[in-house]
Amino acid sequence: MAKTADQYFDDLRETRVWRSIFRSGTGASTLKRALAIQQNVFLHLFSTKVRTRMLSFSATWYLGTLTLGTFFILVATGIPLMLYYHPSVPQAYYDTKDLQFVVSSGLFLRNLHRWSAHAMVFLVFAHMFKVFYRGAYRTPREFNWVIGVILLLITLLLSYTGYLLPWDQLAYWAITVGSNIASAVPLIGNKIHFLLLGGNSVNANALLRFYVLHCMILPLTAIFFVAIHFWRIRKDGGLYAQSSEPAVLRSRPVASEKEAQ
Amino acid sequence: MADTKEFVAVVDSNAKKSPRRIVFITRRTSAQVKTETEDQVQTFPEVLFRAAIAIQVLTIVLVWTSLIFNAPLEGLADPSHTPNPAKAPWYFLGLQEMLHYFPPVVAGVLAPGLVVMALIVIPYFKVNIEAEGFFTKDRERRLRIFYAVAAVLVVFLGTFHVIVAMVPTLIMAGLMLLASQSSAQSPSAFRRYLAAKPLSYWVMTWFLLELMVLTAIGTFFRGPGWSWVLPWKAY
Amino acid sequence: MKHWATSLWQKLFGDSVRAFGVVSIVFLFSIAIAPAKNHFSEWRHYQHGYLKMIRNRSDANTLQRHFDGGIQQIWLPEIGVVDRCTSCHVGMKEGTLRDVSSQPYRPHPVIPHKLDQFGCTMCHRGQGAATTVAEAHNSTLAWEQPILPAKYIESSCGECHRGSLPGTPVLNQGRKLLSRYGCVNCHLVRLPDGTTIKATDAPPSLSHIADKTPREWIYAWLKDPQAYAATSSMPNFQLSDADARDISAFLIANSTPLAGDTATLSAKPSSDPAAGASLYGESFCASCHAVTNAAGNVVGGDVGPELTRVGSKVKPEWLHAWLQNPRRYDPGTGMPHYRFNDREVATLSTFLLGKTDSDLLSNVHLDPATPEQIAHGKRLVSDYGCASCHEIAGIKKPENFAPELSRIGSKSITQLIFLPGMSHTLPDYIAGKIKQPRAFSPALRMPQYSFTTSQIDAVTTALLALNDRSTSLPPSLTVPAAAESNYQPAGKAGKLMADLACFSCHRINGRGGDMAPDLTWEGSSVQREWLVQFFKNPGTLRPALIRRMPRFNVSDSEANELADYILTVYQNPIIDRDFVPPGDDSQGEIELGRQLFYGKYSCQGCHIVETKTDKGYIGPTLTHVGSRLTAAWLYQWMKNPQALRPGTIEPNRAMSDEDARALTAFLVSQKGVAPKEVEKK
């Protein structure tokens, strides 16, 4: 039964249409598989081979992958949410209410977007600490670590700007509290505060600004840096594995290494 | 593994016909490639399928969460009614908790600014690149520095009455003291583990612990007027 | 077993492709059932239940045709209404479902408004946009105005209807109580039209109190006003003995004598022991003043203070002066100036002073006041805001002594502090605050009122109507109250009317009480001769009423002065003053009128013409109507009584001119033998 399905799939992959899309061709050979990665505009960011050791769950906890997953969900849910939303006061709030009460599955979409956003912030933090404790920030991966830090900040900003959009009390005051911190910057604090909000307090201008940031500027910036982030993994020698550490480290008692257990 | 290949810069005789191209490959730059003897697998299908599974499992969890729990929505934003307490999103509550103790310049600007700066410079900070245990070398001097820094930190936190931040600090100081008394030959595996940890590990762990404690307190233990409440009691 | 489990695991997750396949199935399943959250929404459940309910009814086809599935909404952008209540309350407009008593299918009772024009939340509050039971009805983080409990529902009428309506007795009572109990003396209530609610409790001035009452009474009164008079509108400030002692000391020390507020009489009271009581009755004191009888029932009007224990309160010399002319002590009093002679004053005061309560003051023993006590008393008087209600010499009326209540109905719950165990809703908070203000904090100064539960509900209803929406409604939607005018009759007659306090009972040109008939068109309606006689000796117009016009003992010149003024000024322009009344000789017309009276229009159901046979007690007796009312008025009254007196219960029978003329002729012929007969008696 399984074989028949495989055969059908093979036949499909031999069709002209398929071949016109995926040039790498069929076959289980290493070459074909390498080409499958190399000749795909998205997948070519990754290396064609990965150390077997890095496949285990304990090596990375798949935190980077999961973060990417939340990003996918957020884009997928964010776009339909934009269709029901006006970034104006107080319509934004009533749109959110309508999402909750009348739009088909609107409540589900909003729930998924919100919980995924929280999950993404958490996963980005977790990813960063995991990378640190594995020592994966070391040469030659310094710059990718810096890009990771930038992505962390972008994620926080994405979440923070999205927080205002429902225009409810929770949103309003969270943003008020958060943006007041910016005022504390010496000398230019009030200017930053004004620039961020488009006014001296959280108002309709701030909502519009946050909307544009949340739906356009920050996602595009994030995609840009994520692309670099992935590409650099390949360019920096693939996922960091302990064996590529300097010799000094490997002379330590193996028993003390968690990863080696 | 200092097996860097030697390259010779070749100068073409006719520079006008073909542009001069000089390639420098130095140590620890991005293009460094090392020979590997380790087993490898093809990204397709092994890695891609696993990644897909991971993302699917995540989606399943989030979908079910969204089916069961509704996202919060409060009343229409009203600038004239300040809720008490007015809380920032959870990931900023550590900062907000610090704002409770320190002036805004310190808690809101200096501290997060320094953290971001520190995170960025971590990989460029070439002290102890070998990542050996903090107390394995030069133990006496480093102990003295450790005592001084720990004392300054505790006094600093004490002056601002930041008891909540003092607890993780003291725990970390205790662990570091234990690490200083341990070595690679210690009988207990835990002590050998501690002894092998470099300075960056200690600083980062201290930061992580503080972040978690402050965020948890800001999220669950703060009520009206940023007063201390228990999460299971309604206020 | 374990081997079996391992092999299953191998089969499902043995390699990454298999695992991907298995997880994909779960993944697709999860995505596929996500719309279920939407499908199982509550409103679908209720619409389904409705269809099931109507299936077996005889009117199923009609109901089925009216039914419209999906989310329903009433959208009224100009008043901010987005009500989706009818998504679940499907049968709202189905009159034939009257037998259904279970929610959400019960039809709405008939009200003067159309549901499509007002929506639901305008009256019932709750969250109209919500489509789940909990979110729509309860108070949530996103919505703090839950469904308004039915007992307060009239407050919503009051948001638009600023005046009283026949259909809103609770709201009317609540509004009246706010004025009557002086709530608005301390709490400013600015109405949406910019005016403020005025108090009607008329608290007496305390600047000359020492002439009126002994200090012991003040002390007992301060401790518990209701012990003296159950109907007193003075609330209980729950003062300690020392505080009551000091306040009474200050009030006595602060009081200054007023020229003419005490009097000694030259005449002795009547020797007849019943004379006092009968004078009290003849003067119709009970129209305004109440007395608690032996059975504990309060009998009498609530315009003036209760007199059950008045003998324990007032000093005899003050009472004499007051009965001679109350306006000397209090120029603004609503008490008429009866022109009693000294003998009558002595008789009446003896009767009143006999109304004592020995228990009231028996335990009050006050030592002479010390300066410290007086100073402390003065401070307490300021602290408790006594001057908000009472005029007290040397103490200014405090501005905004208590929180303004103009928008109390929109107060955010987050700004309220509730008592433990109290449900967190605004109506409960307001009711709780009125019921026991000091329970919220002993430091509060708001006194304890002795309201009944229904009175508390009424006041709460009136307060809930004072909210943001009520102030922001478009003017086209509001129904303003009839403004209280400050009409003042002119000249000598005007002074006389003030002295007799006509406005305490009568309403003229939009000012005055509602106890007695509106006199705005009195000049058109009555005959001069009758009016003069009526002032001299008011007869009984409506036998069913216990409150009647008292005799003020006016002199002939005063009666003539008043009659002239009334006949000249209080004329209705629609009355044809040149109306030629049917002459006495037109017997045919009179007889026709009699037939119409007893036959076609059956007027005897409410009125009496033949004292022996007629039994109508609802309307005025008409035996003397021919010598009381003018023919022009009667004719116009037959044609359209509501045009002359809006709201009168006299039905408009749409009479033809001929019928009206005949009835007028009949009524004009009913001259009786009065008023001479009464005069003789």
H/E run at residue C75:
strand C74-76
> Which residue from A65, A174, A79, A77 is spatially nearest to A116, judged by alpha carbons?
A77
Q: Mean pLDDT over all residues of chain C?
A: 85
Pick from A53-62, B14-23, B169-178, C61-70: least confident: B14-23
pLDDT grade, residue B7 (50/70/90)? low
> Which residue from B111, B224, B88 is spatially nearest to A177, judged by alpha carbons?
B88
> Which residue from C208, C618, C628 is spatially nearest to C394, judged by alpha carbons?
C208
Q: Mean pLDDT over all residues of chain A?
A: 86
Check if A57 contacts C (Cβ < 8 Å).
no
| Structural domain boundaries enclosing C8 | 2-34
Question: Does the global pTM surpass 0.80?
Answer: no
Q: Tell me: pLDDT of C478 over 70.
A: yes
The predicted model gives C295-303 an average pLDDT of 82
A120 and A15 part of one domain: no
Check if B51 contacts C (Cβ < 8 Å).
no
> Which residue from A127, A138, A121, A133 is spatially nearest to A65, judged by alpha carbons?
A127
CB contact (8 A) between residue B50 and residue C412: no
C223 and C292 part of one domain: yes
Distances in Å between the alpha carbon of C319 and those of B175, C213, C235, C364?
Answer: 92, 10, 25, 22
Other beta carbons less than 10 A from residue A12's beta carbon: 11
Check if B61 contacts C (Cβ < 8 Å).
no
Task: Give start and end residues of each alpha helix (H) in chain B.
Answer: 48-68, 93-101, 104, 111-121, 139-159, 163-180, 189-195, 199-220
C224 and C330 part of one domain: yes
Pick from B67-76, C31-40, C473-482: least confident: C473-482
Percentage of chain C lying above the pLDDT 70 cut: 96
Q: How far is CA C198 from its chain centroid?
A: 13
Other beta carbons less than 10 A from residue C20's beta carbon: 20
Task: Give start and end residues of each alpha helix (H) in C465-618.
Answer: 468-472, 491-499, 522-525, 528-536, 556-569, 587-595
Rounded to whole angstroms, how far apart are CA atoms C406 and C465? 9
- Ordered DSSP codes for B99-141: HHHS-HIIIIIIHHHHHHHHHHHGGG--TTTT---TTSSSHHH
Q: Tell me: pLDDT of B33 over 60.
A: no
pLDDT grade, residue B128 (50/70/90)? low
Other beta carbons less than 10 A from residue B105's beta carbon: 14
| Structural domain boundaries enclosing A223 | 62-256
Nearest to A37 among B36, B43, B89 (CB): B43
A17 and A78 part of one domain: no
Start-to-end CA span in chain C (Å): 118
Rounded to whole angstroms, how far apart are CA atoms B235 and A87? 33
The predicted model gives C503-519 an average pLDDT of 84
Q: Mean pLDDT over all residues of chain B?
A: 81
Q: Are C138 and C416 contacting, i.e. CB atoms less than 8 angstroms apart?
A: no
**What is the pLDDT at residue A216?**
95
Residue C34: its chain A contacts at CB < 8 A? 105, 108
**What is the pLDDT at residue B27?**
57
Q: Tell me: pLDDT of C470 over 70.
A: yes
Nearest to C34 among A94, A97, A105 (CB): A105
The CATH number that applies at residue C408 is: 2.60.40.420
C597-647 residue pLDDT tens: 888 888 888 888 887 777 777 777 888 888 888 888 888 888 888 888 877
Query: Which residues fall within 8 angstroms of residue B145, CB to CB, at 6 or more apart?
Result: none
C168 and C184 part of one domain: yes
C220 and C350 part of one domain: yes
On whether residue A34 sits in a domain, the answer given is yes
Rounded to whole angstroms, how far apart are CA atoms A186 and B223? 30
Q: Tell me: pLDDT of A258 over 70.
A: no
CB contact (8 A) between residue A235 and residue B31: yes
Residue C132: its chain A contacts at CB < 8 A? 101
The CATH number that applies at residue C310 is: 1.10.760.10
C262 and C372 part of one domain: yes
The CATH number that applies at residue A144 is: 1.20.810.10
Q: Are A118 and A163 contacting, i.e. CB atoms less than 8 angstroms apart?
A: no
Domain count, chain C: 6
pLDDT grade, residue A224 (50/70/90)? very high
Nearest to B109 among A46, A185, A252 (CB): A185
Tokens of B131: 């990542």
On whether residue C396 sits in a domain, the answer given is no
Check if C680 contacts A (Cβ < 8 Å).
no
Helix (H, G, I), strand (E, B) or coil at A81: helix
Percentage of chain C lying above the pLDDT 90 cut: 22
**What is the pLDDT at residue C567?**
87
CB contact (8 A) between residue C20 and residue B46: no
Rounded to whole angstroms, how far apart are CA atoms C591 and C604? 15
**What is the pLDDT at residue C40?**
85
pLDDT grade, residue A208 (50/70/90)? very high
Query: Which residues fall within 8 angstroms of residue A159, CB to CB, at 6 or more apart?
Result: A117, A118, A120, A121, B89, B91
The predicted model gives B171-195 an average pLDDT of 88
A135-194 residue pLDDT tens: 888 878 889 999 999 999 999 999 999 999 999 998 999 999 888 888 888 888 889 999
Pick from A59-63, C74-78, C429-433, C646-650: least confident: C646-650
A73 and A181 part of one domain: yes
Check if B50 contacts A (Cβ < 8 Å).
yes
ipTM of predicted complex = 0.87
- Partnered with residue C518 across adjacent β-strands are C507
C301 and C373 part of one domain: yes
A121 and A2 part of one domain: no
CA dihedral for C360, C365, C368, C370, sign (positive or negative): negative
**What is the pLDDT at residue B104?**
85
Phi-psi region of C300 (alpha: psi -120 to 50; beta: other; left: phi over 0): left
**What is the pLDDT at residue A245?**
43
A210 and A179 part of one domain: yes
B55-97 residue pLDDT tens: 999 999 999 999 999 998 888 888 888 888 888 889 989 888 9
**What is the pLDDT at residue C678?**
39
**What is the pLDDT at residue A232?**
92
H/E run at residue C299:
strand C298-300
Rounded to whole angstroms, how far apart are CA atoms B75 and B180? 55
Q: With a CB-CB cutoff of 8 Å, which residues 36-75 of chain A face chain B?
A: 36-37, 43, 46-53, 55, 62, 65-66, 68-70, 72-73
pLDDT grade, residue C582 (50/70/90)? low
Q: Which residue has the higher pLDDT, C26 or C666?
A: C26
| A&B contacts, CB < 8 Å | 236
Nearest to A101 among C37, C130, C141 (CB): C130
The nearest alpha carbon in chain A to C41 belongs to: A101
Q: Which of C372-381, C469-478, C494-503 has the highest mean pLDDT?
A: C372-381
CB contact (8 A) between residue B192 and residue A243: no
Report phi then psi at C647, rounded to 5.
90, 0
Rounded to whole angstroms, how far apart are CA atoms C433 and C243? 24
C220 and C368 part of one domain: yes
A138-154 residue pLDDT tens: 878 889 999 999 999 99
Domain count, chain A: 2
